[in-house]
């Protein structure tokens, strides 16, 4: 099989909607219809510290049926992490495969050169001192970073950092610059609702956040109508099997029990910034009767909600960010079509890390790979506790699941 270009996309598809399909179509419109697409996709947990609304296999299958050719997993220690680490992990997965020549993503600005200039500014030697000076003003990290970046580029260009997809795009560019990677950057202007916008005008594509909000509100038919058709089909199948929708709140008591059983030192291990945020979370965890109440009690102007939510998720899963690996030790295949299988055949010559299609094969890999897979397996078992039907939540599922081949 011949494909002239191979484009990588780093994604969550939580859930996959028509804005995601638009990016897949634009990649082929701009680069050629014979372009192959490989995705690095989060597993059962996502970047903002939440459970994915559908398990990884269902989302990967929908991705391949919607235009992707091969879906590789972005491992948990990168998937449920701050944007910088999330982006670095996704880039590692794509570079590790050794087949992609382009990194594509959506952004509000659609200007890859501007995002690359901002990335270079954030990596410059001057930036840390500028950021430190701005943080002394008492504003949030995001506001301080934007002002500091504006001193190195321009206030107008730095204002791009106020929009979430631009910000994530800058993190992708930073990851490429750090690794001196030769991947071209292709950014497509985002169409429809903003990344984290829960309300959606009727003439716009819904964001993933808006679809999840509809599901939480019990507005199932509206949510299904705003998903990509293949994702809606996958959702209905998972729902019928008692595995959807999945929300952290479905196993809230288990999360709260874990938090209440932890000592202050355990929370300190979760606080990467070492700024005392863990004390707020520890104090809130003793009294809160819901996860939302916990986060509301711990939140401050300076710390984003997603950071607190990630810390709560790490606590539930028993993760310690200080022990996170820096290098992705294997490439786990989640789904592929015929073109994807041809990509896999090519990857067996180009990949710089082992390719994992059968779970048992991890036992032949090194210690770090085995420990990461064991961590993923435990996390998958904890994820299953949030299924709508607990009879579907038996343990050990990750050791039994191979990739979805279409």
- Domain 6-108+163-240, CATH class in plain words: alpha beta
Tens of pLDDT along the chain (406 residues) come to: 777 899 999 999 999 999 999 999 999 999 999 999 999 999 999 999 999 999 999 999 999 999 999 999 999 999 999 999 999 999 999 999 999 999 999 999 999 999 999 999 999 999 999 999 999 998 888 999 999 999 999 999 999 999 999 999 999 999 999 999 999 999 999 876 554 545 444 445 789 999 999 999 999 999 999 999 999 999 999 999 999 999 999 999 999 999 999 999 999 999 865 667 888 899 998 889 999 999 999 987 777 789 999 999 999 999 999 899 999 999 999 999 999 999 999 999 999 999 999 999 999 999 999 999 999 999 999 999 999 999 999 999 999 999 999 9
Angle at the Cα of 98 (from 94 to 104), degrees rounded to 5? 40
- Give dist(CA 333, CA 170) in Å, integer: 27
The domain segmentation of the chain, as residue ranges, is: 6-108+163-240, 249-323
């Amino acid at each position: 099989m011949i494909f002239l270009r191979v484009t990588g996309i780093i994604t969550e598809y939580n859930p996959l909607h028509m804005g995601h399909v638009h990016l897949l179509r634009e990649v082929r419109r701009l680069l050629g219809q014979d372009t192959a697409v490989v995705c690095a996709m989060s597993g059962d947990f996502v970047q903002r510290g939440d459970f994915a609304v559908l398990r990884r296999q269902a989302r990967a299958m929908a991705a391949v049926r919607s235009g992707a050719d091969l879906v590789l997993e972005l491992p948990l220690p990168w998937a449920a992490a701050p944007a910088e680490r999330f982006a670095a992990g996704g880039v590692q997965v794509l570079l590790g495969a050794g087949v992609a020549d382009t990194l594509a993503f959506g952004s509000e600005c659609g200007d890859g050169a501007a995002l690359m200039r901002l990335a270079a500014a954030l990596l410059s030697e001057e930036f840390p001192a500028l950021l430190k000076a701005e943080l002394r003003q008492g504003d949030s990290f995001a506001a301080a970073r934007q002002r500091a970046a504006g001193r190195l580029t321009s206030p107008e260009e730095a204002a791009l950092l106020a929009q979430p997809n631009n910000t994530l795009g800058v993190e992708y560019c930073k990851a490429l610059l750090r690794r001196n990677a030769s991947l071209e950057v292709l950014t497509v202007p985002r169409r429809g609702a903003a990344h984290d916008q829960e309300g959606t005008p009727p003439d716009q594509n819904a964001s993933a956040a808006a679809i999840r909000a509809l599901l939480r509100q019990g507005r199932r038919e509206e949510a299904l109508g705003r998903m990509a058709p293949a994702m809606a089909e996958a959702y209905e199948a998972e729902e019928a099997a008692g595995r959807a929708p999945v929300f952290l709140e479905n196993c809230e008591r288990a999360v709260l029990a874990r938090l209440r059983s932890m000592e202050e030192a355990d929370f300190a291990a979760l606080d990467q910034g070492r700024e005392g945020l863990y004390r707020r979370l520890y104090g809130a965890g003793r009294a809160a009767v819901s996860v939302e109440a916990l986060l509301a009690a711990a939140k401050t102007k300076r710390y984003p909600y997603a950071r607190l939510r990630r810390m709560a998720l790490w606590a539930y899963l028993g993760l310690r960010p200080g022990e996170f690996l820096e290098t992705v030790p294997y490439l786990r295949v989640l789904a592929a079509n015929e073109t994807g299988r041809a990509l896999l055949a090519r990857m067996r010559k180009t990949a710089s890390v082992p390719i994992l299609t059968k779970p048992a094969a991890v036992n032949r890999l090194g210690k770090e790979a085995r420990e990461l897979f064991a961590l993923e397996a435990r996390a998958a078992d904890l994820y299953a506790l949030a299924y709508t039907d607990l009879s579907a939540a038996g343990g050990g599922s990750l050791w039994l699941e191979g990739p979805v081949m279409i």
